[in-house]
Copies of this chain bind each other. A is one copy, B any other.
């Protein structure tokens, strides 16, 4: 069933897998927690470790990059490059991160989070899946690629950018990418920081939602005033904040801000059909959402709502008395913290403007407002007919020896910065599964999926090089 190179890749990965496991275990022992300033030296140690590993793998260039200080003290990223030697070879940039979430045994870990342990075919430890394991399978992947093809350099110009601040919100990542845009130039970005649907349902993610976040601050009376003396006769900012939040959605739970959906790319019939084929169990999904009922935009399924539809959510609301019991006041102010998830075709700037106009038009005299935005992430989406996506699907299909289905991500990530700055499509090659426990105790990676990741990478460079002639850039823009 499998072709000769597939078998060669599979055999090499199986034989060399213990060395990947040993490397990953060593790397996990470095607690590169980016959120903890006291771990800054460990993040630096992790970057240096990775430079050493990439050099040992054969990358002729591997260096530490310190991002420009947009926010806080920047933590080091790692950049590596391995030219193909073939002048027609496409260029691929792999994205991942080497920093990890905080973890402590007392959070509920069975074993020490920074002391990796293998149990039942899984490697447990902080960063096993998010994202050290998924960065590291590329080292075995490129070695398998060379071994199976007999090449001395990859079939593509291979670049890696592994950042050290992803778990802290990538505050300096866009600036880093802009600063090094010339060296990062590529035809395709491969993000290895996502997951698949399930162990027996390998999938490729085709897009992530964008994000625009704001705080709307309302001010009414110059100070809290007595609700007996003045109640019913002056505007109440808490009421007005609530009226804004309530007006975000219509009765069909569609976002009711005029212009919000402008340009939004809707699902194609083919995409809806493919999503509907995923073995989705709503009860199980609700359990992962810690929720008891589904609710969302009329006319769309739950998966469509979280992956492919723009949304507006109230992340925080506050105003007036917050203590126990009651206090009969009309509060001086109130606030709303809103986040909007965006899909391809929506323009974040246009959404901001639409929100601001909508807010301004809904407030009565006597209520002042201020809308401040805290960061924007653009959506990214790769059409199903994008040749690079088809190459990835073929490589994954060869590695997993089964049909590959498609998913999307509801969240938002720095991948969009790469898409934006570099102007190329972003693909997602991830082998993590929902049970891997990202950001939770007992994070793990499935060892056989880690091997499948290496196999996919090994096969992908040929697929991309072979399909390079058909490649069109900017398919996701």
Known contacts A291-B225, A326-B213, A374-B326, A239 near B366 by CB under 8 Å: no
Which residues of chain A (185-240) have a CB below 8 Å from chain B?
209, 211, 213-215, 220-223, 225-236, 238-239
> In the complex, A246→B234 CA distance in Å?
16
> In the complex, A297→B220 CA distance in Å?
18
- A contact residues, range: 35 or more
Chain-B contact segment, one of A314-322, A396-404, A420-428: A314-322
Q: Is A334 an interface residue (CB 8 A)?
A: yes
In the complex, residue of chain B having the shortest beta-carbon distance to the beta carbon of A221: B290
**Is B315 a contact of A234 with CB atoms below 8 Å?**
no
Known contacts A223-B290, A225-B291, A374-B325, A313 near B246 by CB under 8 Å: no
Q: Which residues of B contact A410 (CB under 8 A)?
A: 228-232
> In the complex, A316→B326 CA distance in Å?
8
Partner of A233, one of B239, B294, B314, B409: B294
Tell me how far the C-beta of A225 lies from the nearest C-beta in chain B, rounded to whole angstroms: 6
Q: Which residues of B contact A222 (CB under 8 A)?
A: 290-291
> In the complex, A10→B211 CA distance in Å?
76
Q: Is A292 an interface residue (CB 8 A)?
A: yes
Q: Is A365 an interface residue (CB 8 A)?
A: yes
Known contacts A228-B209, A242-B317, A296-B232, A221 near B325 by CB under 8 Å: no
**Is B243 a contact of A246 with CB atoms below 8 Å?**
yes
Q: Is A302 an interface residue (CB 8 A)?
A: yes
Tell me how far the C-beta of A253 lies from the nearest C-beta in chain B, rounded to whole angstroms: 8
Which residues of chain A (293-349) have a CB below 8 Å from chain B?
293-297, 302, 305-306, 309-311, 313-322, 325-332, 334, 337, 339, 341
Q: Which residues of B contact A375 (CB under 8 A)?
A: 326
Known contacts A239-B313, A321-B315, A306 near B230 by CB under 8 Å: yes
**Is B321 a contact of A316 with CB atoms below 8 Å?**
yes
Q: Which residues of B contact A60 (CB under 8 A)?
A: none
Known contacts A239-B246, A327-B337, A230 near B293 by CB under 8 Å: no
**Is A289 a contact of B233 with CB atoms below 8 Å?**
yes
Tell me how far the C-beta of A235 lies from the nearest C-beta in chain B, rounded to whole angstroms: 4
**Is A411 a contact of B291 with CB atoms below 8 Å?**
no
**Is B293 a contact of A339 with CB atoms below 8 Å?**
no
Q: Which residues of B contact A388 (CB under 8 A)?
A: none
Q: Which residues of B contact A337 (CB under 8 A)?
A: 320-321, 326-327
**Is A229 a contact of B320 with CB atoms below 8 Å?**
no
> In the complex, A306→B289 CA distance in Å?
45
Tell me how far the C-beta of A163 lies from the nearest C-beta in chain B, rounded to whole angstroms: 19
> In the complex, A319→B227 CA distance in Å?
22
14 A-B pairs with C-beta separation under 8 A: A214-B326, A225-B291, A227-B339, A228-B409, A233-B294, A235-B291, A238-B245, A239-B245, A293-B366, A313-B328, A314-B319, A314-B331, A318-B322, A326-B374
Q: Which 4 A-B pairs have the closest CB atoms?
A: A228-B411, A293-B366, A232-B311, A242-B245
Beyond the given pairs A246-B246, A320-B337, A326-B339, 13 more chain A to chain B contacts, judged by CB atoms under 8 angstroms and listed by A's residue number, are A211-B328, A229-B410, A231-B306, A231-B339, A232-B313, A235-B291, A239-B314, A242-B242, A245-B246, A290-B332, A292-B365, A313-B330, A327-B337
